[in-house]
Chain A
Amino acid sequence: MPEARRIRAVIVDDEAPARALLREYLGAEPDVDLVAECGNGFEALKKIGELEPDLVLLDVQMPKLDGFEVLELLEKRPAVVFVTAYDEYALKAFEVHAADYVLKPIGRERLAEAIRQVRARLAAPVAAVPVASPAALANAARAPGQHLERVLIKDGANVHVIPVELVDWIEAQDDYVGVRAEGKTHLKPQPIAEIAAALDPARFVRIHRSYVLNVDRLARLELYAKDSRIAILKDGKQLPVSRAGYARLKELL
């Protein structure tokens, strides 16, 4: 392996002056090549997916997708240095194993130190670099005590953003969940228990091992056999309700 490997970097920030400053500072690093600059979360997702850079300098608050949501949706994750004016995300940043967390206004020396961290991380054997699970990432995208407000689904180059109030129900399908909203089912690679835990329990109930229901959609319950019931939704759709699911539903209603 060559000892001086080059670092391909992407800058993600919605403010032009902030990008200019990062560009200037990166220009002073001999081994860093700037391969793209992005002004919002969607663009970042697309560019990072295409270019597979080694390093992303990532702002947190941006239009469309925030920095944590971008990370959640990435399949292959580069080293990340968060660059933001907000110090309250630092803890979350380290939960998702960010290489560093730099506060604005950014100092040249401070950014250089972050780049040194990244170099060390890239030089380490792959197994030694901690990788956050998608669950940790999804949790990091929310404030503590806050419930999931929108479900993000990556579909090729597109991202569907589904506000949770539009979700009718969620169905487990092997390693995926099918999220049903506005007449369409979107597949997302996530265990159903994980998404059920992230949703607001006052609105979404795990009615069955394989189903999570938005209770606003429930029309009525019918007894189907001893100990098992069927939930009839307002659009006529029928979903199975287990005994434990019925108990949870009864507690809520």
Chain B
Amino acid sequence: MHPLLSGRVRPILYLAMWAGIGALLGAVMAALSPRPLAHTVAFIAPLSVFYAFACLSAWWVCRANPLAMTPPARVLTVIVSASLQAAALWVALGALYAALLGRFAHIGPERAGIFRDLAVLGIAGIVLYAQSMAGHYFLLSIETARAAERQIFASQVTAREAELRALRAQLNPHFLFNSLNSISALAGSEPEAARRMCQLLGDFLRTSLSLGARESVAFGEELALAERYLAVEQVRFGARLGFEKSVAPDAERCLVPPLLIQPLIENAVKHGVADRVEGGTVRVTAAVRGGALEIAVENPRDPEAPPRRGQGMGLENVKQRLNALDPQHARLDVYREADAFRVRLTLPASGDGAGGAHA
């Protein structure tokens, strides 16, 4: 559907504009070859209505030769030739109509006057059609820009949804089920410990929700969340779960996307502790080097353990989020050794800790 014909207001405005153009043309013709007003109107009004519709055809001509994909010389050729053809058609129709008016209604100027009228039609026809094409190209470019805008918006929505999915998935339901089971166990024998565990779990949930709602968080906050998580898990695993960290103060002040390392910590507990009889120690190290924040999470692993289902999911998600952050400088390296598993994140240092490398 042609954009100028859609709705109610646009066609009326368009025809009103053409009424003005018709009046102007009529005035010019009457000035060149004086005649009664009724004669001028009888001649120019039907021809104006016809050309008003003829000019709409520029829409399809423009669409067939989109500006972005057509060389400028070709655009110019198309405009000139389409305008000439449309004007020629208009002049021919005008000549026929003038002849009919003269023959049957006995109105209209003499032969020289008709030629002057047709000359006006010819010149105006070329100019008006060229104008119409320019106008349509303008309409098309607005439409393209809007579509691009919609697309950008849609992709932003998709990215945000992926982010939210990631955050939701990180609130691992099995962690909750197992924690509740531990609380239930402690409630019978050690009510104080059960209360402490409720508090730890509540702290962890509240913090992860509030961090997750933010655009970026200081790495130190992220680390504090990981420590709350580990405190809960320590109730389940007891002495089997160890934790060590070696984090430079400037690294703690760097900004990172929220809950970025949480899935790595959860993987480390699952594979480094839960899958090993003797348990293990999860190690987190972080430092700022040469403008980049480097974070490593390491855990021992059972060389005989098969790769469990879903192991790659958490890593894949972290990789995607780093990629969305800065595909050039952010990356994830995975080192899978026989008895250890190490993941290293590298991302541009930003925030307060960023200057630390040069200090």
Q: If the complex has contacts A63-B275, A63-B277, A146-B309, are A18 and B177 also in contact, measured as CB distance less than 8 A?
A: no
Q: Give chain A residues whose Cβ lies under 8 Å from the Cβ of B188.
A: 20-21, 24
User: B180 and A105: CB pair below 8 A?
Assistant: yes
- A150–B304 alpha-carbon span in the complex (Å): 8
Q: Give chain A residues whose Cβ lies under 8 Å from the Cβ of B54.
A: none
Q: Interface size for chain B: under 10, 10 to 19, 20 to 34, or 35 or more residues? A: 20 to 34
User: A63 and B181: CB pair below 8 A?
Assistant: no
Q: Point out which of B174, B185, B238, B274 has the most chain A C-beta atoms below 10 A from its C-beta.
A: B185
- A163–B189 alpha-carbon span in the complex (Å): 42
User: B181 and A163: CB pair below 8 A?
Assistant: no
The segment out of A9-17, A115-123, A213-221 that lies at the interface is: A9-17
Q: If the complex has contacts A40-B277, A105-B180, A163-B304, are A143 and B174 also in contact, measured as CB distance less than 8 A?
A: no
User: A63 and B189: CB pair below 8 A?
Assistant: no
Q: Is B182 an interface residue (CB 8 A)?
A: yes
Q: If the complex has contacts A17-B235, A104-B178, A105-B180, are A63 and B185 also in contact, measured as CB distance less than 8 A?
A: no
Q: How far is the CB of B310 from chain A (nearest CB, A)?
A: 10
Selected from B184, B238, B306, the residue in CB contact (under 8 A) with A150 is B306
Q: If the complex has contacts A16-B238, A40-B277, are A105 and B181 also in contact, measured as CB distance less than 8 A?
A: yes
CB 8 Å contact bits of A103-119 with B (1 = contact, 0 = none):
11110000000000000
User: A15 and B306: CB pair below 8 A?
Assistant: no
| A/B interface sample: 22 pairs, CB < 8 A | A14-B274, A16-B236, A17-B235, A18-B182, A20-B185, A20-B189, A21-B181, A24-B185, A40-B277, A63-B302, A85-B174, A85-B177, A85-B181, A86-B174, A103-B177, A105-B180, A105-B183, A106-B184, A146-B309, A149-B307, A150-B304, A163-B304
Q: Is B186 an interface residue (CB 8 A)?
A: yes
Q: Is A185 an interface residue (CB 8 A)?
A: no
Selected from A17, A40, A161, the residue in CB contact (under 8 A) with B186 is A17
Q: Give chain B residues whose Cβ lies under 8 Å from the Cβ of A21.
A: 181, 184-185, 188
CB nearest neighbor in B for A106: B181
- A163–B305 alpha-carbon span in the complex (Å): 9
